Amino acid sequence: MDNNVVISTRVRLARNLKNYPFPYKLNEKGRAEVNEKVKDALKNGNSAIAKDFQYINFDNMTDSMKVSLVEKHLVSPEFISNTKGRALLMLNNPTVGLMLNEEDHIRLQVIEKGFCLDRVYDLADKIDTLLDERLNFAFDEKLGYLTQCPTNLGTGMRASVMLHLPALKQSGAMSMIASNLSKLGITIRGLYGEGSASEGAIYQLSNQVSLGISEKSAIQNLKNITEQLVNQEVMQRERLVKSIDARDKIMRSLGILKTALTISHKEAVGLLSNVRLGICSGLIKDITIDKINEIITEIQPATLMVTVGKPMSPKERDICRADYIREALN
């Protein structure tokens, strides 16, 4: 049931090397040294997983390839804004990324499908310990891991879950939920981070405070609140789909997606959200939730262009997107 609501789970840790200024104060030579040190630490780390990391070179990447990495939540928008002196180390299955010289020297991120905070944190923790054994991290007994921005002091951890909350959104409860959550040290945002509108009723829930609360407590707190939100969402869904109008909207959404010849990203995400709700409520039986999650990832503008392998105008993208969706659903 959780996976009907929780799309994915992510944990990121911010770490810095003691003997180098933070990246924005660090010259090119220093950045290159940091990149090499982290790469070496990973390569020589005493763990099987460490050896499979791939070094991603941004020099020959098109802009759409870079943006596509952002759309898939593998790197931050800040990271691709200027990749000079930066590096990305990646591992697939499980998905682990190390952004080097972004805001901090190291941003370690683990992301997985579904609701699995403990597992995702354990892996991030393991890789962190591995790096800690070989690198001299900036750490203070009182302030914890030292970071460029004081909002990340302490554990340097941001744990988050991505949630699909169409019924709560429909009920108009989201703004009340957001303000209540902020009192509990939890932030809720739209799909693409701060300030963005919640397209397709997809929200990201994450811990806000990192100093004075242990990783375990922060994760437990996030887990409890996620579970409560999931329960609320499930209850609201049951209520919602009793109405013929809501069921009609779901089935019409599927109809449009299966037949449209051109479709904008925004419209598609909205309709897919309705269909996803339909599948979870048992109204639509021949499509899986995984399929819808995959479509939501694949139809993003840059990712679409990377798949097709050429730049496209917005109009061309809308046609290509409609083709992709029709094929995926029929």
Partner 1 sequence: MKCQKCGKDHANTHVKTIINGDYKEYVLCADCAKEMGYGNIFGNMQQEFSNMLGSFFGNTLPAVSQATHCPSCGSTYYDIADSGKVGCADCYSTFYDLLLPSIRRMHGNTTHCGKKSVAGIEYTETQPKKVSKLENLKAELDKAVKAQNFEEAAKLRDEIKELEKNNG
Helices then strands (H, E): number in the chain? Answer: 13, 10
Residue 38 or 188 having the CB closest to partner 1: 188
Residue 53 or 145 having the CB closest to partner 1: 145
Minimum distance of partner 1 from residue 134's CB (angstroms): 8
Minimum distance of partner 1 from residue 142's CB (angstroms): 6
Query: Closest Cα to residue 94, out of 78, 108, 79, 76?
Result: 108
Q: In the 8-state DSSP scheme, what is residue 154?
A: B
Minimum distance of partner 1 from residue 46's CB (angstroms): 8
Residue 57 or 180 having the CB closest to partner 1: 180
Q: What is the enclosing helix (H) or strand (E) of 325?
A: helix 314-329
d(CA 123, CA 121): 5
Residue 21 or 311 having the CB closest to partner 1: 21
Residue partners of 159: CB distance under 8 A and separation at least 6: 9, 10, 11, 12, 117, 120, 121, 206, 207, 218, 219, 222
Minimum distance of partner 1 from residue 24's CB (angstroms): 6
Residue 15 or 66 having the CB closest to partner 1: 15
Minimum distance of partner 1 from residue 136's CB (angstroms): 5
Tokens of 242: 């009793």
Residue 25 or 29 having the CB closest to partner 1: 25
Q: Phi then psi for 32, rounded to 5 degrees?
A: -65, -40
Minimum distance of partner 1 from residue 325's CB (angstroms): 28
Residue 172 or 282 having the CB closest to partner 1: 172
Q: In the 8-state DSSP scheme, what is residue 17?
A: B
Residue 2 or 118 having the CB closest to partner 1: 118
For 156, left (φ over 0), alpha (ψ -120 to 50), or beta? left
Minimum distance of partner 1 from residue 58's CB (angstroms): 23
d(CA 14, CA 137): 10
Q: Where are the beta strands (DSSP E) in 215-284?
A: none
Q: What sign for the dihedral angle of Cα 25, 157, 169, 237?
A: positive
Residues that bind partner 1 (CB under 8 A): 16, 18, 20-22, 24-25, 125, 128, 132-133, 136-151, 153-155, 157, 174-175, 178-179, 182, 185, 187-189, 194-195, 197, 208-216
Minimum distance of partner 1 from residue 317's CB (angstroms): 26
Minimum distance of partner 1 from residue 248's CB (angstroms): 25
96 by DSSP, 3-state: which? Answer: strand
Tokens of 243: 């109405």
Q: Phi then psi for 91, rounded to 5 degrees?
A: -135, 135
Q: How far is CA 143 from the centre of its chain?
A: 27
Residue 119 or 326 having the CB closest to partner 1: 119
For 88, left (φ over 0), alpha (ψ -120 to 50), or beta? beta
